[in-house]
Structure 1
Amino acid sequence: MKEIIYKIRSYSESVEVLDQLQAGYRIILDIENVERTEAQRVIDFLCGGIYIIKGQIQQINSFTYLCLPVGDINIDDDQ
């Protein structure tokens, strides 16, 4: 499975992240450079889109998320 690392700088870039998830890529998302309120909009948008495509999202740390497309390995709290 291919992975892409995104360092998001604005909400408008979140559509591209979702497009890549739909194409089957794993996404490592870094939102450190996004204003807090805009970062929350990005995560809310992605959570909704990931739900629709039956993918998964897991917070790695305060600014990093792992987004998985449908059919990828389940995220487990023990990992």
Structure 2
Amino acid sequence: MRPFEEQKPVVVNLGSVQKETAQRIVDFLSGAIYALDGNIQKVSSDIFIVAPHNVDIMGDLKGDITAKAVFPWSK
């Protein structure tokens, strides 16, 4: 997982992935981030932020997206 080796957060959008495949991806990411002492946060039903241990995820991301403050194109 190259971004984690470089200590960078990743936004994962699983909107166009089949449900079973998306679950396997989330399971893999959860295991990898656990092993690296990082953090994963669900932003919406299909979007996750995965961050290594040196990056803090703060704030109400769901509320910000709903208010269109972070991603103005989101519904």
TM-score, with structure 2 as normaliser = 0.72
Q: Which runs of 5+ in 1 are unaligned?
A: 1-17
RMSD over equivalenced CA pairs, Å: 1.3
Distance 1:35 1:54 in 2: 28
Aligned to 2:24: 41
More strand by share: 1
Q: Which runs of 5+ in 2 are unaligned?
A: 61-75
Asked if structure 1 preserves the Cα contact closer than 8 Å seen for 2:14 and 2:46, the reply is yes
* Count of aligned residue pairs for this structure pair: 60
Where do 4+ consecutive residues of structure 1 move more than 2 Å? none
TM-score, with structure 1 as normaliser = 0.68
Rg larger in structure: 2
Distance 2:2 2:31 in 1: 13
